[in-house]
């Protein structure tokens, strides 16, 4: 007779709460928001991480802010760019946190930068002493509407995009759209790709706004007509403002708020991604492989745009989207300055990309395809030949040449 089985099963749950707040002129010396601490236990010191470019543009203002407020601080400046989104960068942050002797109960790390910087710092913060709170201050459009609002951190590793990472939301994200005034047009377009994604899978009104105002949004870098962030009356809940179809909002404000609101509606009920059918994965099936193969030629949003163009063509071939809708979608991508095709759209790249995504999505394609404009469906039966034909058709439509 065998010995009796002894086992313990431990079950617990961890509530998650974090805040995303619009905060104009976040580094105005008299604006206390950065130094507020949710628990009211903030210490007198701050460790700030930023990247080289953001430091050259805003470093002086950031340092002056802490000096003005009598806060001891240190600013670590990392190299910018996707090529530097690496484990080495995470180790650099950890070592600097050690040297600073950060008090993880009282001194939230402050990450000021784009998606790359926030992903690195978030990853480091999640690892450092098993978890150290941090706040995010995004300075790019991708950061404002995407990387800054969810729970994921990560770095590229072993030739793969975001191969190492954690789920670790920042305590707070402070959204200051005035940072976008120094961002170049290409990076504005890059962020508009993630906004277009939300439009295509769940928000037809957002698509119309992009179609009507895309050129202005690009030119004005999503600034509101009057100075700053525009009318966002704090006493009107965001869903009420948006439900009124933006009657009180200028297009730039409405576009950014709708994008964030739509993203959070999808993320909140599935923050740990237990459900693998995620509409927000639209445009992220082939793009991770395309982006890594093309690095540094293609930006994240640009790769997402190519993926969305390809899957729009696929959807049209399946009768999910009309030819008119497909052309409108490709037209808006053009209007927003986004690529719709790339030489890497070959079966040799796309098929392994799909296989890699299938592994990531637990053995099924779970591929979101648009249904009309503003809705999506998941499919699991895309064949190699369907993929190759769609890629050929996309090349024909966009470059006029069969590949
Ligand atoms: N964690 C997530 O949920 C999530 C979501 C979407 C994207 N991402 C990640 O975000 C990254 C892309 O983010 P990104 O597009 O912000 O790239 P990025 O962080 O590389 O920033 C782009 C460039 O703009 C510069 N820059 C930043 N702010 C600026 C400003 N205000 N003015 C002028 N230049 C400025 C940066 O130094 C950099 O050179 C990708 O690595 C992607 O994987 C993460």
Show me where the domains of the chain are located. Answer: 19-181, 185-270, 279-399
Name the fold adopted by 279-399. Dehydroquinate synthase-like, alpha domain (1.20.1090)
Counting from 1 in the atom list of ligand 1, the atom nearest the Cα of 154 is 1
String of DSSP letters for 205-262? HHHHHHHHHHHHHHHTTT--SSSTT----TTS-HHHHHHTTTTTS-HHHHHHHHHHHH
* Ligand 1 pocket: which of 78, 82, 116 to mutate (most atoms within 8 A of CB): 116
pLDDT score, position 227? 47
pLDDT score, position 211? 98
Q: How far is the CA of 144 from the centre of ligand 1 (A)?
A: 9
More confident residue, 54 or 231: 54
Q: Is 152 a catalytic residue?
A: yes
Average pLDDT, the chain: 93
pLDDT score, position 228? 45
Report whether pLDDT(67) > 60. Answer: yes
| pLDDT (average), residues 156-184 | 96
38 band by pLDDT with thresholds 50, 70 and 90: very low
pLDDT score, position 248? 75
Q: How far is the CA of 143 from the centre of ligand 1 (A)?
A: 6
Asked if 329 and 200 count as a contact pair (C-beta separation under 8 A), the reply is: yes
Report whether pLDDT(16) > 70. Answer: yes
The closest alpha carbon to 18, from 130, 114, 127, 153, belongs to 153
Report whether pLDDT(403) > 70. Answer: no
Instruction: Identify the residue whose C-alpha is closest to ligand 1 atom 20.
Output: 81
Rounded distance between C-alpha atoms, residue 161 and residue 292, angstroms: 6
The closest alpha carbon to 280, from 289, 269, 290, belongs to 269
Residues near ligand 1 (Cβ within 6 A): 51, 53-54, 57, 80-82, 85, 113-117, 119, 139-140, 142-143, 146-147, 150, 152, 162, 179, 182-183, 187, 190, 300
Counting from 1 in the atom list of ligand 1, the atom nearest the Cα of 184 is 33
Asked if 101 and 43 count as a contact pair (C-beta separation under 8 A), the reply is: no
| pLDDT (average), residues 373-394 | 97
pLDDT score, position 402? 46
- State whether residue 319 is helix, strand or coil: coil
| pLDDT (average), residues 242-248 | 68
| pLDDT (average), residues 118-128 | 98
Retrieve residue 236's tokens.
Answer: 């009107």
Architecture of domain 19-181: 3-Layer(aba) Sandwich (3.40)
235 band by pLDDT with thresholds 50, 70 and 90: low
| pLDDT (average), residues 9-27 | 95
Instruction: Identify the residue whose C-alpha is closest to ligand 1 atom 13.
Output: 115
Instruction: Identify the residue whose C-alpha is closest to ligand 1 atom 25.
Output: 53
More confident residue, 295 or 255: 255
| pLDDT (average), residues 210-227 | 91
Structure-token match 């525009």, residue found: 230
Report whether pLDDT(387) > 80. Answer: yes
| pLDDT (average), residues 376-390 | 97
The closest alpha carbon to 97, from 119, 60, 126, 61, belongs to 126
pLDDT score, position 219? 96
Rounded distance between C-alpha atoms, residue 265 and residue 234, angstroms: 20
Q: What percent of the chain is modeled with pLDDT above 70?
A: 93
Report whether pLDDT(196) > 90. Answer: yes
Phi-psi region of 131 (alpha: psi -120 to 50; beta: other; left: phi over 0): left
* Ligand 1 pocket: which of 53, 138, 140, 145 to mutate (most atoms within 8 A of CB): 140
| pLDDT (average), residues 245-270 | 91
More confident residue, 87 or 244: 87
More confident residue, 398 or 28: 28
3-class SS shares of the chain: helix, strand, coil, % to 5: 50, 10, 40
Counting from 1 in the atom list of ligand 1, the atom nearest the Cα of 52 is 37
Least-confidence region, from 28-42, 185-199, 293-307, 321-335: 28-42
Q: How far is the CA of 232 from the centre of ligand 1 (A)?
A: 25
Q: How far is the CA of 247 from the centre of ligand 1 (A)?
A: 31
Q: How far is the CA of 314 from the centre of ligand 1 (A)?
A: 29
Catalytic one of 85, 152, 161, 221: 152
Q: How far is the CA of 80 from the centre of ligand 1 (A)?
A: 9
245 band by pLDDT with thresholds 50, 70 and 90: low
Instruction: Identify the residue whose C-alpha is closest to ligand 1 atom 28.
Output: 139
5 band by pLDDT with thresholds 50, 70 and 90: confident
């Amino acid at each position: 007779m065998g010995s009796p089985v002894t086992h313990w099963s431990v079950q617990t749950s961890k509530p998650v709460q974090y805040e995303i707040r619009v905060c104009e002129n976040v580094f105005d010396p008299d604006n206390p928001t950065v130094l507020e601490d949710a628990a009211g236990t903030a210490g007198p010191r701050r460790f700030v991480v930023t990247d080289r470019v953001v430091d050259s543009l805003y470093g002086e203002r950031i340092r002056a802010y802490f000096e003005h407020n009598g806060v001891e601080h240190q600013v670590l400046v990392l190299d910018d760019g996707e090529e530097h989104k690496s484990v080495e960068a995470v180790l650099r942050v950890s070592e600097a946190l050690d040297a600073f002797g950060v008090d993880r109960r009282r001194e939230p790390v402050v990450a000021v930068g784009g998606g790359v910087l926030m992903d690195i710092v978030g990853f480091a913060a999640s690892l450092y002493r098993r978890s150290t709170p941090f706040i995010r201050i995004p300075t790019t459009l991708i950061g404002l509407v995407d990387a800054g609002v969810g729970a994921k951190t990560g770095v590229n590793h072993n030739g793969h995009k975001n191969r190492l990472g954690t789920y670790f939301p920042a305590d707070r994200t402070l959204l200051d759209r005035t940072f976008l005034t120094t961002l170049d047009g290409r990076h504005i377009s890059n962020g508009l790709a993630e906004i277009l994604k939300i439009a295509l899978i769940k928000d037809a009104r957002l698509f119309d706004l992009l179609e009507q105002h895309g050129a202005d949004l690009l030119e004005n870098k999503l600034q509101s007509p009057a100075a700053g962030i525009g009318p966002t009356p704090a006493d009107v809940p965001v869903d009420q403002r948006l439900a009124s179809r933006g009657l009180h909002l200028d297009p730039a404000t409405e576009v950014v708020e709708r994008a964030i609101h739509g993203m959070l509606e999808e993320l909140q009920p599935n923050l740990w991604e237990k459900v693998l059918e995620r509409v927000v994965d639209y445009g992220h099936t082939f793009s991770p492989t395309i982006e890594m193969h093309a690095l540094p030629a293609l930006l994240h949003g640009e790769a997402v745009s190519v993926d969305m163009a390809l899957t729009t063509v696929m959807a049209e071939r399946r009768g999910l989207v009309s030819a008119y809708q497909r052309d409108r979608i490709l037209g808006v991508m053009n209007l927003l300055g986004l690529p719709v095709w790339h030489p890497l759209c070959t079966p040799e790249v796309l098929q392994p990309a799909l296989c890699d995504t299938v592994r990531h999505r637990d053995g099924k394609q779970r591929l979101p395809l648009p249904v009309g404009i503003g809705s999506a469906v998941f499919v699991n039966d895309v064949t190699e030949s369907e993929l190759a034909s769609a890629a050929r058709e996309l090349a024909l439509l966009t470059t006029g040449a069969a590949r």
